[in-house]
Structure 1
Amino acid sequence: MTPAAAPVPGAAPLLAVRGVKTFYGKIIALKGVDVEVRPGEIVTLIGANGAGKSTLMMTIFGNPQAREGSIVYDGADITRMPPHEIARLRVAQSPEGRRIFPRMTVLENLQMGASLDKLKYFNEDSERMFALFPRLKERINQRGGTLSGGEQQMLAIARALMARPKLLMLDEPSLGLAPLIVKQIFDAIRELNRTEGLTVFLVEQNAYHALKLAHRGYVMVNGVITMSGSGRELLENPEVRAAYLEGGHH
């Protein structure tokens, strides 16, 4: 399984996180994090549960805001921006726990994702989503809350993609899903990156799948980045193997 399209060599980062510290009350959750994502890359952040991965994802998206450090996206400092302004800059997030609108149909959920452009590209983009996730087309008039976990995850990603993002942030897309569904979702991410050059920042506990997909990866332990490298380097790293891959998926 080859990684996706080659990112632009030597390009300035699309996303640069520098020295970011995030607190919950007096508890420090991120302790000076440096991460960057270049245009056209798939970058993954792996780590144990509670390492601070989702906190980093939420901090990039402006809630909670970083107390120290800076977050620069596409040349703009977004460190103090509220989430709705960050979304307007073409950053889309598929959050942990999916958070689709359960009472709305599949179609209505996709419309919510496309609202940034006042549904201007809705027909064309929804067709792209149905080609990517045929299951959603079969469920088009079904309420989100009645879908299976895998279908809800597909809908969460499709809804994020309807905003035509330059950067797609995915938080634990494989959580609680059957291996076959996980493969479908990771294949879809690879395909979007390969055909459209979509830049993806992926937080994932399933280190094996994430590192196979990613151009580069970071390892987070207790709010600190402890290691980084290409997806392949991290997959072959003895420490990473021992901590995240042994007894896992091979």
Structure 2
Amino acid sequence: MSATAPATPLLAVRGVKTYYGNIIALKGVDVDIHEGEIVTLIGANGAGKSTLMMTICGAPQARDGTVRFAGRDITRLPTHEIMRLRIAQSPEGRRIFPRMSVYENLQMGAALEGGSHFAADLERMFEMFPRLKERIHQRGGTLSGGEQQMLAIARALMSRPRLLLLDEPSLGLAPLVVRQIFDAIRLLNETEGLTVFLVEQNAYHALKLAHRGYVMVNGVITMSGTGADLLARPEVRSAYLDGGH
């Protein structure tokens, strides 16, 4: 990634307000993600992190503000049309197809891309996550938590996204598995230039991985900076790194 970020972000969130009924969850959020970046959003439970991720994907839609992707206003587009623009999401809680095999889950991921690169992409996923190759004919619902997370990410990658949205990929996983998943994200970014927006409660791992980060508190962005800058800030350390929540 070049030192000077391009003028136009790949993803630009401007003044976004999202509601659940009469309750405002996002209170005028601004976020930029440039091509080739890993950007993370950290914050406590209930801060609005997952709501922002879902708002980018159109469910729920922002009531105010705009979401632009590759220069196009996607704020009012339905989710299936947003996905066709080569945005892929690995949602919180994995949400794989539990009755389908690993192979069938990956086929579903490739459906948007058209399947023309299926064999090559399948091999790439198995190189990145060898456990999935061992479990290729096993039902998704019978996999371990770590294997399900690998499958959720691999399924998203099968669509050859321009932007990968990852929501809490480390949640509930053993440290060794977390390291594997974060190493895979770093490798994809370094070797293929994949742009990643990562929502994560594990602030230390997320900020170590990310080029830039944002901190969200109660639906508001309160801080932003490089991953290293945020790691060094006392208020971030006390709230998210030194045993705080």
Question: Using a 3 Å threshold, how does the CA distance of structure 1 residues 8 and 161 change in structure 2: closer, same or farther?
Answer: farther
1:212 aligns with 2:212: no
Whichever residue aligns with residue 201 of structure 2, its letter is Q
1:171 aligns with 2:167: yes
Whichever residue aligns with residue 139 of structure 1, its letter is R
Contact 1:7 1:41 in 2 (8 A): no
| Whole-Å separation in 2 of the counterparts to 1:147 and 1:96 | 17
Counterpart in 1 of 2:187?
191
Question: Shift of the alpha carbon at 1:41?
Answer: 0.2
Contact 1:11 1:39 in 2 (8 A): no
Contact 1:43 1:216 in 2 (8 A): yes
**RMSD across aligned positions (CA):** 1.0
| Whole-Å separation in 2 of the counterparts to 1:83 and 1:165 | 15
Structure 2 stretches of 5 or more lacking a match? none
Whichever residue aligns with residue 96 of structure 1, its letter is E
1:146-185 to 2 correspondence within 5 Å?
146-185=142-181
- TM (norm. structure 1) is 0.96
Counterpart in 2 of 1:36?
32
**Which of 91, 94, 99 pairs up with 1:103?**
99
| Whole-Å separation in 1 of the counterparts to 2:15 and 2:195 | 22
Structure 1 stretches of 5 or more lacking a match? none
**Which of 119, 122, 131 pairs up with 1:126?**
122
Counterpart in 2 of 1:74?
70
Whichever residue aligns with residue 101 of structure 1, its letter is F
Contact 1:8 1:39 in 2 (8 A): no
| Whole-Å separation in 1 of the counterparts to 2:148 and 2:3 | 29
Whichever residue aligns with residue 229 of structure 2, its letter is E
- TM (norm. structure 2) is 0.98
* 1:88-123 per-position Cα deviation (integer Å, ceiling 9, x unaligned): 000000000000000000000000000013311110
Whichever residue aligns with residue 33 of structure 1, its letter is V
**Which of 90, 94, 98 pairs up with 1:94?**
90
Alignment length (residue pairs):
244
| Whole-Å separation in 1 of the counterparts to 2:7 and 2:207 | 22
Contact 1:8 1:40 in 2 (8 A): no
1:45 aligns with 2:57: no
